[in-house]
Amino acid sequence: MSNPDHPPAVGVLDQGPELIFPPGFLWGAATAAYQIEGAATEGGRTPSIWDTFSHTEGRVVAGHTGDVACDHYHRMPSDVRLMAELGLRSYRFSVSWPRVQPGGSGPANAAGLDFYRRLVDELLGHGIEPWLTLYHWDLPQPLEDAGGWPARDTAGRFADYAELVADALGDRVTYWTTLNEPWCSAFLGYGSGVHAPGRSDGADAVRAGHHLMLGHGLAVQALRASRPQAQLGITVNLYPVTPASDAPADVDAARRIDALANRFFLDPVLRGSYPTDLAADLREVTDFGHVRDGDLAVISTPLDLVGVNYYSRHVVAAPVEGAEPEPYWRAPSCWPGSEDVRFVTRGVPVTDMNWEIDAPGLTETLRRVHEEYTDLPLYVTENGSAFVDAVVDGQVDDVDRLAYFDAHLRAAHEAINAGVPLRGYFAWSLMDNFEWAWGYTKRFGMVWIDYDSQARIPKSSARWYAEVIRRNGLAAQ
Ligand code: IFM
């Protein structure tokens, strides 16, 4: 049903039983450098915080590392051919900072840049639009040793790095994302410590979040100056946050988590201010003394698009005495100042990450960004699910993942019908890969990776997605 306040975007055809997306809708798949490339010590690449972290005992399940990963560094041309076979219109990848600027400062590494030049050329040669993310969590280790993201200087280093990548690739890459999911970098990396660099200090997490956004703003300014035609944005991971009940204490718990998970980034980047309730909630953690005059103007430097990563919803409630803490990214230390808020599970179906499947949450999230924050074009820059897959007779029939994509694409279409200027969708992920602290034990790919032989097997979801792209829409339900 269309919302009369938000007429459908031009070109949306809701005719007949098919759900057709607007002409030119950018269908893609996403990956990230450390999760797929491997070749950790080749071509002049130096360690990032994820190399150090994954090589530290006890940090990653089963001691897995990204040393080899999907060996994409060596198999890139055939991986691009596979993307073309699937009909991808765009491929979202990230550049490994320590591959192109070893150590995180100083001159570029020609061999590292060359890899991405070849990747972009292969993509363009196959008619696939490259979408470049500058930072998907692999901070060069020397920058961490100098203080990491809690240190202000890291923001400036990031802008220098952005300029260096723009000089090399700006002539052929139109779409640029500065950061991927700064919440994870800040709050999992420096708050709970379940991600690299594994530090656990609430004030550092908040400082890291600020300096990530400052680096984003500085990078946008540098990119804009050198590449005025580029389409520039940021990717944030957003969650609808729902109170478990109407009780005022539960509603307040939802407000607090929403401030930390969503508004912490959306408000500075799109409004140029921090939410006032956030500062009040965090008063025991930080006085925000790290925020200098002019920072918020830099952070809110105008963008061309906003990338939204969506996976699930948070349902939260007020603390009760003696409640068990939640694991992983819901660990209390991810939420400085609100550690006592309870994350509630509703008993609805979950993925292999134990994340609740909630497709309407995608519609809600996209509508919120558009209706409360911006008229900018939006892109779903990641959406997907981990399930336990199996190869049977050489095939992987991942019906659960296919159903997840199907439901979320219907939700995305509903957002378009409600007036959201959604211009594209990137499935996470093109292929199974290194799922951070979970190593290779969680599979998000549309393409199965045999980590022993490095064979690739497109799963049922990949074949189905190719058909969605071909018809620019979904079949009737
Ligand atoms: O694998 C990650 C990705 O690197 C960032 N977004 C979430 C994905 C699934 O956890």
Ligand 1 nearest-atom number relative to CA 428: 8
Q: Does domain 18-472 correspond to CATH entry 3.40.50.720?
A: no
- Comparing 465 with 477, the larger pLDDT belongs to 465
* Residue range 89-106, pLDDT digits in tens: 999 999 999 999 999 999
* Residue range 299-312, pLDDT digits in tens: 999 999 999 999 99
Span from the CA of 437 to the centroid of ligand 1 (angstroms):
11
Ligand 1 nearest-atom number relative to CA 180: 5
Provide the pLDDT for residue 328: 55
- Positions annotated as catalytic residues are 181, 382
Span from the CA of 235 to the centroid of ligand 1 (angstroms):
12
Does residue 16 carry a pLDDT above 60? no
Q: Which of 54, 179, 428 to mutate to test the pocket of ligand 1 (most atoms within 8 A of CB)?
A: 428
Provide the pLDDT for residue 327: 55
- Comparing 441 with 328, the larger pLDDT belongs to 441
Q: Counting beta carbons within 10 angstroms of the beta carbon of residue 84, is it exposed (0 to 12), middle (13 to 18) or buried (19 or more)?
A: middle
Least confident range of 27-36, 134-143, 315-324, 466-475: 315-324
The single-letter DSSP state of residue 8 is P
Provide the pLDDT for residue 7: 34
* Residue range 245-278, pLDDT digits in tens: 999 999 999 999 999 999 999 999 999 999 999 9
Residues 144-150: what's their mean pLDDT?
Answer: 98
Nearest to 368 by CA among 240, 469, 471, 467: 240
Provide the pLDDT for residue 3: 35
Provide the pLDDT for residue 477: 74
Domain assignments of the chain as residue spans, ordered by start: 18-472
* Residue range 44-81, pLDDT digits in tens: 999 999 999 999 999 999 999 999 999 999 999 999 99
344: Cβ contacts below 8 Å, ≥ 6 apart: 244, 315, 316, 317
CA distances for 455 relative to 34, 68, 462, angstroms: 19, 14, 15
Q: Which residues line ligand 1 (CB under 6 A)?
A: 32, 35, 181, 309, 382, 428, 435, 444
Ligand 1 nearest-atom number relative to CA 35: 4
Does residue 158 carry a pLDDT above 90? yes
Question: Which two tokens mark 289?
Answer: 């003394």
Span from the CA of 10 to the centroid of ligand 1 (angstroms):
32
Question: Which two tokens mark 348?
Answer: 């609805």
Give the amino acid at 110.
Answer: A
- How far apart CA 134 and CA 53 sit, in angstroms, is 20
Provide the pLDDT for residue 428: 99
- How far apart CA 334 and CA 476 sit, in angstroms, is 41
pTM: 0.95
Provide the pLDDT for residue 170: 98
- How far apart CA 290 and CA 186 sit, in angstroms, is 15
Q: What's the full length of the chain, in residues?
A: 477
Span from the CA of 463 to the centroid of ligand 1 (angstroms):
22
- 351 φ, ψ (degrees, to nearest 5): -90, -175
The DSSP string of 391-455 is: -BTTB---HHHHHHHHHHHHHHHHHHHTT--EEEEEEE-SB----GGGGGGS---SEEE-TTT--
Residues 360-387: what's their mean pLDDT?
Answer: 99
% of the chain exceeding 90 in pLDDT: 92
- How far apart CA 397 and CA 463 sit, in angstroms, is 10
Provide the pLDDT for residue 325: 60
